[in-house]
Structure 1
């Protein structure tokens, strides 16, 4: 080889090289990533920005992960939600958000930076690979820059295939700045799969379902992730089976459908209790059937048929007569095919729709005095009823915070469109709803996005209302203010009585104004509707809005009172 050829070859090699950070950004571009979420500093922000992938910088790492979860759930995991944070304290502060996403089964790609290689195991340096292993689906560290293509492909594959969950790839900062020769154009984009059930399993499942006298369907978040609502509706209508959802699965079945029973949460409509008690068989589809304080348990005398994408779900918390490992939509299509084009509806279910409507009407009539109360301070149920009146569920995405806002909203809000309600029923970290709302608005800017929270929740994350303002994510936040930690006096009665340990204070509309958004405080029930409409008008004009409502503490919950 001549000297000139050697020089040309060396120049071509040098031209093909790029840093590890640039390679990762190139792969994210190939994957169609529209933004990278996080909190500085991370070498990925500049590398992504160079490729026209803008950063979305939150005010805290936990909320950044919440935003990514909201984005992932609002897109049913079809778009890659990516979060990056600084090594050490940045990764440490992200732990709560990743734990929440793990419990919610949200497919989030978490790319924290790591300490320079050689110092990551030095006490007290925080190593993400060791500490996040039990709250992620896959958790690895890149130690050689030449391994980046393989590791990044593996990480994204685990996002796309199997049960959804956060995936973590830790990226040492020195590796991100190291040159490597791989090209992002050579990256093979993993595609989602939808595994089917065995034909014999489908036949047995349908045989048991058809033999049941009073079956009920319990639909989970897997229905939303698989975008299987049309198939679920078709099966329910074909066999005239009533449908309830889990908290995470709420909106997976349209709740204005005459066969809808509502959500089987801690607080729930009377229709759920009645038909679950009456049922002899429960078809649980797209749900882990996790036992939780926030989820209504399935009675022990029921036959349970479970369809889930994760084999570890089966038999985890309940004895299951038949467990089927399959994608929810794929399994529903198989079940419909097994039925054929003209299934015969059981005669025992004649008049079921009218009966459900009567139970629903009786439930609402019982609660109407609270939903329309003129009390001062305002009843939180009046707030929810006014929200129901002004929001169009066909174009709204609503979410809620932990505690009373969840338990008071869930039984009464009628979700009509898949993904129109972001619910959660396992880990319940205060403040998560704001990030969920921001992520949903980022994913679906045409939607009206609303989150309901108490003042304790706002205290956790309120400064990230500025993120909504700065990042042009106009959401409507409704804050219920009663100056107490709702329900906590029961767990610390002595401390509350002697030292007012359950008391908090503050005014929040003025904080929203100070952060650049619209803020309004409502103290009279008669002013609620107009205030909510003003907030929605501000949102329509592109400005984040916060409506603070002064309420009284309300211990009564549907299904528990």
Structure 2
């Protein structure tokens, strides 16, 4: 295929020009080039079938642009798939997602929010109403009597890092360039939305060849400003009990080796967030486990005593800070290394705005000859040994009535998986158990979305991870609640011949919210999947006769049912060896003991109540809230 000349023009529709533009974009970091757009996920309907649909068909038929089309089954799910892919590719490659006018496009709002909150690039191309307003109002149009230019796609504005509506073909030129700029900026990336009115998609324009040429977006590694680096080193050298928190930025910047080198040179213990797990292998002498509300007792004990906290590539969510109750030393200081100043400035920190790898390397040089006291290293090691004993015990937990405990499912799966295999999860009680129990030695082996904690992410994202890393086995760990919300992408996995193993934990309800409800005095109300009891009027009857394994089989998956917890290992090994999409169905006891908690999470409890369970929870809430503090 011969690309367009840099001089002259090419007459194309807006959609055809956009497809050519997307196919010609590349990223480059450290001398390695990547396709910015691996393809387009879409569901066609009125609004995009005659525009982008025709353009993608033409590109595939004529070879004028290499931009493969992938058919999804749900618009929210296809954004999740794109996010899973981009995260697994360290944000250097992404997907575009197109949907039809109206409900198809608004279905992408949840996925857009997840992408933006997680700082993951995805390009959304929602179809819009007629820019010319000839047949106004059209099917599925929002008629707002206050504003003539508002459509349902305006709902994507607050969850997009860049948003634009293309009402004339030539507007695509600056908008497409702005979109690519944001998508390739580690500090600004997230969901980018270009709304495409259906008439404009099909309009022709004479496009300058320069717009359609191959274009490389260089993803740099910003260096730390020398004075900021000196201030950071001074704060660390003055500490007796420093703790480093490794976040997702360590993984995305491929800084695992730099992190290891700094930890080994200084003896600083390293805790991790969900996004940073595996940046330092779990059994490394400096690794102390996950941090925060669902973290390890070892890491949280060190955090409470820390007089300096070095956050690298973390956004300090409330789970990481245990709702601002974790860091209790009166004089604690924070040093934040982040490519985004917005995150570097949190907790009144010494700010080092830089790429994680360059900053960690520079800090190691700046701290040359300095090391924590051996007694502190000894204390950290002792806490980790004690915690690992607790984890070993939790992995052997049993449920009731012959059912498996979720912790045993996780522990057995972890033991079966190889070092480079990937576990994918997002919501419910599993992320908490995973952060405590999962032992990862590879930065890409733990893929848990916990910034948005979005039910339904798991299966769709598992497909994206598999497409991004076809040389790795991918295991999706999902509860029945999330499965029921978004299981249809199993059919997409089958169509794409993307082998993924889905481990479905069936506990007949919302295990996480059930436990949370109980802790705030609400007695697990409304958290079980049960018949409505005619005597009580509540949903507290017998469990519903739902067969999710049969559902998965109907979508094309091979199914393995585990009736005896003793057969878990055999089932996981069989599924790993399979050559097709496989679902392992396991009944679990939602009340089985899980790994112990060692930090708090702020969920307000009713201040007044007629229920003693709620009043007791409120007393406990007020006691725990006393530990909250602002770091000013």
Settle same-fold status: TM greater than 0.5.
Answer: yes
SS of 1:17's equivalent?
A: strand
Could you give the per-residue CA deviations for residues 300-322 of structure 1, whole angstroms, max 9, x where no partner exists? 43321112222223455x3x241
The verdict on how the C-alpha distance between 1:134 and 1:495 changes in structure 2, with shifts beyond 3 A counting, is closer
Distance of 1:374 and 1:60 partners within structure 2: 37
SS in 2 for 1:462: coil
CA apart distance, 1:190: 2.2
Query: CA, structure 1 residues 281+386, in 2 after alignment: closer, same or farther (shift >3 Å)?
Result: same
Match of 1:241, SS state, is coil
The answer to whether the aligner puts 1:123 opposite 2:142 as a matched pair is: yes
Q: Deviations over 1:40-95 (max 9, x none)?
A: 23333442342342211111001000000001100011113221212211111111
Report the more deviating stretch, 508-517 or 264-273.
264-273
Indicate if the aligned counterparts of 2:302 and 2:380 stay in contact, CA closer than 8 A: no
In 2, Cα distance between the equivalents of 1:34 and 1:103? Answer: 22
Give 1:374 deviation, angstroms: 8.8
Q: Which residue of 1 aligns with 2:52?
A: 44
Q: Which residue of 2 aligns with 1:157?
A: 181
| Residue 525 of structure 1: how far off its partner (Å) | 0.8
Measured after TM superposition, the shift of residue 446 of structure 1 is: 1.0
Shift of 1:227: 1.5
Q: CA deviation at 1:363?
A: 2.3
Pairing 1:476-487 to 2, within 5 Å after superposition: 476-487=501-512
Change in 2 beyond 3 A, CA 1:99/1:295: farther
Per the alignment, residue 135 of structure 1 pairs with 159
How has the CA–CA distance of structure 1 residues 48 and 232 changed in structure 2, closer, same or farther, with 3 Å as cutoff? farther
2:577 aligns to what? 537
- How far the C-alpha of 1:295 sits from its partner, in A, is 5.6
Per the alignment, do residues 123 and 351 of structure 1 end up closer, same or farther by CA in structure 2, a change over 3 Å counting? closer
Query: How big is the shift at 1:360?
Result: 3.3
Match of 1:467 among 489, 492, 495: 492
Which sections of structure 2, spanning at least 5 residues, go unmatched? 1-6, 26-34, 60-64, 145-149, 528-532, 599-632
Shifted more, 141-150 versus 459-468: the winner is: 141-150
Relative distance call for 1:147 and 1:241 in structure 2 (3 A) is same
Asked if structure 2 preserves the Cα contact closer than 8 Å seen for 1:485 and 1:504, the reply is: no
Give 1:404's match in structure 2, choosing from 417, 429, 449: 429
Where does residue 465 of structure 2 map in the other structure? Answer: 440
Which structure's residues are more often helix, by fraction? 1
Verify: 1:111 aligned to 2:125, yes or no. yes
Asked if 1 retains the 8 angstrom alpha-carbon contact of 2:407 and 2:595, the reply is no
Of 482, 500, 514 in structure 1, the residue corresponding to residue 554 of structure 2 is 514
Matched, 1:525 2:565: yes
Rate the CA distance shift 1:315–1:350 in 2: closer, same or farther, 3 A: closer
Asked if the contact 1:402–1:428 (Cα under 8 Å) also holds between the matched residues in 2, the reply is yes
In the TM superposition, residue 187 of structure 1 has moved relative to its aligned partner by 5.5
Change beyond 3 A, Cα 1:24–1:512: same
- 1:304 alignment partner, one of 315, 334, 347: 334
- Partners of 2:405 and 2:593 within 8 A in 1: no
Superposed displacement of residue 106, structure 1 = 1.1
Greater shift after overlay, 354-363 or 78-87?
354-363
Whether the 8 Å contact between 1:140 and 1:168 is mirrored in structure 2 is yes
Rounded to whole Å, the distance in 2 between the matches of 1:488 and 1:454 is 12
Give how far 1:401 is off. Answer: 3.2
The whole-number CA distance in structure 1 between the counterparts of 2:558 and 2:212 is 45
- The number of aligned residues is 541
In the alignment, structure 1 residue 250 sits paired with structure 2 residue 274: no
Q: Which range moves more in the overlay, 496-505 or 296-305?
A: 496-505
CA RMSD of aligned residues (A): 2.6
**CA 1:365–1:292: 2 relative to 1, 3 Å:** closer
Question: How far did 1:248 drift?
Answer: 2.3
Q: Cα offset for 1:294?
A: 9.4
Q: Look up the SS of the partner of 2:503 in the other structure.
A: strand
**What is the deviation of 1:528?**
1.1
Superposition pairs for residues 159-558 of structure 1, below 5 Å?
Answer: 159-161=183-185, 162-182=187-207, 183=209, 184-186=211-213, 188-292=215-319, 297=324, 298-301=326-329, 302-316=332-346, 318=347, 320-340=348-368, 346-351=373-378, 354-370=381-397, 376-392=402-418, 394-489=419-514, 490=517, 491=522, 493=524, 498-501=536-539, 504-538=544-578, 541=579, 543-554=580-591, 556-558=593-595
> How far apart, in 2, do the equivalents of 1:20 and 1:288 lie?
38
Distance 1:434 1:487, change over 3 A: same
For residues 382 and 197 of structure 1, what CA distance do their matches in structure 2 show? 44
Spell out, residue by residue over 1:427-476, the C-alpha distance to the aligned partner (whole angstroms, 9 max, x if none): 22211111111110111111111111111111001122111111111111
Aligned-partner Cα distance in 1 for 2:367–2:327: 28
1:11-33 Cα shifts (integer Å, max 9, x gaps)? xx998211111111111211233
The match for 2:31 is none
Deviates most, 493-502 or 146-155 = 493-502
Shift of 1:477: 0.6
TM-score w.r.t. the length of structure 2 is 0.80
Deviates more, 1:514-523 or 1:184-193: 184-193
Q: Deviations over 1:478-536 (max 9, x none)?
A: 11112232244424645578345365541122222221111121121111111111211
The gaps in structure 1 that reach 5 residues or longer are: 1-12
Deviation at 1:96, TM superposition (A): 1.0
